[in-house]
Amino acid sequence: MKYDTVIIGAGASGLMCALSAAGRGLKVAVIDHNVSPGNKILVSGNGHCNFTNLDCSHENFVSKNPHFVKSALTNFGPSDFMAMLDKNKLAYEEKESGRMFCRGTARLVVEMLANECLTAGVTFSLGAKVTSLKKADIFEVRCAGAVFTSNSLVIATGGPSFPELGASNFGAGIARQFGISTIETKPALVPLVLGGIDRKTFSILSGVSFRGQVCIGKKTFTDDIMFTHRGLSGPAILQISTFWNSDVRLQIDILPDIDIESQLLAIRNSSGKTMTKNFLSGFIRKSFAKVWCEKNNISEKLADLSNAKIRDIADRLHHWEPVISGTEGINKSHAVNGGVDTSEISSKTMETKKIKGLYFIGEVLDVVGQLGGYNLQWAWSSGAAAGRHVC
């Protein structure tokens, strides 16, 4: 069947693109191998859809081209998606750090987008696996038992994170088929694995968390950190993992904003009989304080600590450099670094520069946002950009 635009992928970016294109009067078809749309939307925000962030800017994204996202974000930002929710009378609320969540379930957002698409005349072909695609004068997409032809083709297949939801590197394969360069993907927003003696030492703290500051070079995040049976997780670790590789050093401040050296010096004389590990348990969990003191050979009472020893303790607490052996991999990642090279794509329209009528949007591109609604906002923004320009 002939369409103006065929979109492969019924996720956040694909649905937004379909809605935007159909709203211009185009005949649009959306194909997805999953039997229902918006699977990744459903798991966002623990099922309550962290759909955007009020503080969204290009600085919240990582890409080989850090300016690539600017145009799309400017032309469809957080307020535009909230206007859609308002129109459909879906309640939402702001939580910490500008994060916006639905008050209901994420399924309401998927239903809103799907219903708006259907109202605009979008055709859905779900549970349909693409077996081949090519372009002569027009694009031809073949699925089992069906052939779709179109003037333009939009690839909105996402990245390989969340493979249990059907995610794969299918979109990158399409890019390579058409001679468009890709950047190798690696896990982002992913737990880190401790190596050597650190894994054995801290594995007994699995489930214990604390608020800390993580740093790699000039990139710093302050949020919760949680021990796992293999390493470290929690929001701060997921954020910094996007910038981690085996050539960099990860540093953790266990007590950010606390001058622990001054406190140790001040309390030493008045509470000298207190064990150091017990004093530290006033700032971090008792079990963490115990393991940390054992690892660092600290068994003294406060009264027995010299000034030099106190300075050393403070330095170790503020500049812990755990041994990191790797990440938990794609299966545990929320997103990926890499994807279709943005230098091959128009930042205004999302159309490839080499192949007229071929577009890439959303996670399939070399764009990854921080935690907090940024990746969904990129899906909305890039999908709307392509939807405004396909023909």
- What whole-number distance in Å separates Cα of residue 254 and Cα of residue 224? 10
- What whole-number distance in Å separates Cα of residue 348 and Cα of residue 138? 23
| Contact present, 390 and 23 (Cβ < 8 Å) | no
Average pLDDT over residues 230-246: 97
Is 80 exceeded by the pLDDT of residue 163? no
Does residue 332 form part of some domain? no
Give the model's pLDDT for residue 131. 94
Give the model's pLDDT for residue 370. 96
Contacts of residue 82, defined as CB under 8 A and 6 or more positions apart, other chains included, come to 52, 92, 100
| Domain end point (choices 274, 295, 327) | 327
Does residue 111 form part of some domain? yes
| Domain end point (choices 302, 327, 352) | 327
Average pLDDT over residues 122-134: 96
Can you say whether the dihedral through the CA atoms of 56, 62, 67, 72 is positive or negative? negative
Is 90 exceeded by the pLDDT of residue 271? no
Q: What is the DSSP letter of 170?
A: H
| Contact present, 370 and 239 (Cβ < 8 Å) | yes
Query: In terms of domains, do 289 and 343 share one?
Result: no
Query: In terms of domains, do 317 and 375 share one?
Result: no
Residue span of the structural domain in which 293 resides: 192-327
Percentage of the residues of the chain whose pLDDT score is greater than 90:
92
Q: Give residue 145's pLDDT band: very low, low, confident or very high (50, 70, 90).
A: confident
Tell which residue, 47, 43, 46, 41, has the closest CA to residue 12: 41
| Domain end point (choices 304, 327, 350) | 327
HSE-up (13 A, CA, CB side) for residue 196: 6
Is 80 exceeded by the pLDDT of residue 164? no
- Amino acid, res. 159: G
Per the structure, how many domains does the chain have? 2
Query: In terms of domains, do 219 and 368 share one?
Result: no
Tell which residue, 267, 233, 245, 134, has the closest CA to residue 184: 245
Query: What rounded mean pLDDT belongs to the chain?
Result: 95
Is 80 exceeded by the pLDDT of residue 183? yes
Does residue 244 form part of some domain? yes
| Contact present, 338 and 366 (Cβ < 8 Å) | yes
Tell which residue, 174, 137, 131, 152, has the closest CA to residue 18: 152
- What whole-number distance in Å separates Cα of residue 181 and Cα of residue 177? 10
| Contact present, 381 and 75 (Cβ < 8 Å) | yes
What CATH number is given to the structural domain containing 177?
3.50.50.60
Does residue 196 form part of some domain? yes
Is 80 exceeded by the pLDDT of residue 167? no
Is 90 exceeded by the pLDDT of residue 161? no
Query: In terms of domains, do 292 and 170 share one?
Result: no
- What whole-number distance in Å separates Cα of residue 6 and Cα of residue 76? 22
Query: In terms of domains, do 236 and 144 share one?
Result: no
Q: Is the pTM higher than 0.75?
A: yes
Query: In terms of domains, do 363 and 309 share one?
Result: no
